[in-house]
Amino acid sequence: MPIAKTPFSVQVLLREDEIASGFAAAFARRFLDEKFFYWMPASVSAWVELMRAPAYRNANRALQLLAASDPELVTLWPQADTLCGLGCGEGSKDKLLLQAFQQTDRPLAYTAVDFSQSLLELALTATRGSAISVRGVKLDITSDDHLQALARQGRSCIFATLGNTLGAFDPLRFPERLLRIMRPVDCALFDGEVFDRESTLAGYDNPTNRRFAFSPLASLGLTEQDGNLNFELRPGQEGIHEVAKYFVALRDLEVRIGPTLMHLKKDEKVFMSSSIKYDEPVFFALIERGGFQVELRKKSADGKFLLAAARPR
């Protein structure tokens, strides 16, 4: 049934000045956390471009797997009336799920959750018309207090962590943290990329993804002439693997972040958050270890992407 478009609002638990201070502190310790890749306008623009790029297979895999699984999810969760997208990005994956429920005359309320004001606005704009209501929450997902603010939504809430986002939230701890705010009537969706020694690195070391990975540095005025951006595949020992990335300065550099002038010496490295990949059994085991019962296990057509639908155990 058609739903009238209405204005949306964003609840702010994390202020821009707090983000700016955190960014300066992160650069000072030479490690840029995942969240800073979605903050500046240059980063958001690069992210949206990446989501549309054919070379970035993960976005296509995530969308195709979710679309193929939507009918089963709608049947699996007849009581759901709310979708909470954790790390919603530009909203493309959450929109698919909202549309699936809408097409069965069971439209959901939607809460978009992200660190980035710009991405929240994109997600809420994209999903408006596919949900009964939409709202945004701007927060730091690593804060337990912020996460607690998402509890008790609707009669039954689907908490969706999609787009291989679980790896950015700490796959060893996040399922358990999420479980603490959930009721027995709530449910959860997780997805993740399967590690492949032959193809995983190629999916990241391409021009479009390099632009996205470089974007936090570009926002500081740095260019690729100032240093090299490196990607490394680091296989893990317990079924959790990573694509690591870091910048190496080619000369002495000065970077201004707000009122602070920082110096980066030649050959000094700035490390960036890694992208996490999984062995298939380990992905599902991590969710179960966090206190969930996995009700539905799905795999993409090429076997490179996984989806888990789960309930509190």
Q: What is the pTM of this model?
A: 0.93
> What whole-number distance in Å separates Cα of residue 124 and Cα of residue 110?
9
pLDDT of 164-185, one tens digit each? 999 999 999 999 999 999 999 9
Q: Give me the residue spans of the domains in the chain.
A: 21-50+203-276, 54-195+279-312
pLDDT of 36-66, one tens digit each? 989 888 888 888 888 887 767 777 889 999 9
Indicate the burial class of 29 (C-beta count within 10 angstroms; 0-12, 13-18, 19 or more): exposed
The residue written with tokens 């623009």 in the block is: 45
Contact 188, 310 (CB under 8 A): yes
**In the predicted structure, residue 1 carries a pLDDT above the cut 60:** no
| CATH 3.30.300.20 holds for 54-195+279-312 | no
The residue written with tokens 């399922």 in the block is: 175
